[in-house]
Structure 1
């Protein structure tokens, strides 16, 4: 899992956020999404399917990687919802957010 802990973010409703950098020596963008969601779910990325979260059900991981990876000079920002998590993938990191219960 990511070394970046989930952090509460103040706003009208409380939101938990996890950010995982990607690229370089880090994971691919799609794997960064999986790691960020796993951080919020409190499980290992390999166990997300048991939690009902399968990235491929929401986006083609290869297409996401091709769109975002290796393009730090491009203004790429992909937003999607994966199993109730709001996800933003930019040129350097993936951020997953979910409302706190």
Structure 2
């Protein structure tokens, strides 16, 4: 699947958050967002549209997100957005996705 790291409040449950590191040898920030959401959804990133109906471009311009966040490990840039039922924060080195609470 992806290089996501999941966090959960109790063992055996669906992860509450997924973190994917970006930059360096990792994916671009926009791809890290896709990988984190796919990890929470339990699908491969390539299957996110078909299985979950999630298209990142419907929520944010991936190129603009990459331009704001990528290559700025020394900065204090955090971008927060909602993507199809997921709250996502993209920082200088990782994307963290969390399912929106109903």
Task: Give TM-score scaled by structure 2 length.
Answer: 0.87
Q: How does 1:1-101 map to 2 (within 5 A)?
A: 1-9=1-9, 16-50=16-50, 51-99=52-100
* 5+ long unaligned stretches in structure 1: none
Indicate the SS of the match to 2:71: coil
More RCO (CA 8 Å, sep 6+):
1
* 5+ long unaligned stretches in structure 2: none
Structure 1 segments, 4+ long, off by >4 Å, are none
Task: Work out the number of aligned pairs and report it.
Answer: 98
Q: Is the 8 A contact 2:22 2:95 kept in 1?
A: yes
Shift of 1:8: 1.3
Q: Is the 8 A contact 1:20 1:35 kept in 2?
A: yes
Cα RMSD (Å) of the superposition? 2.1
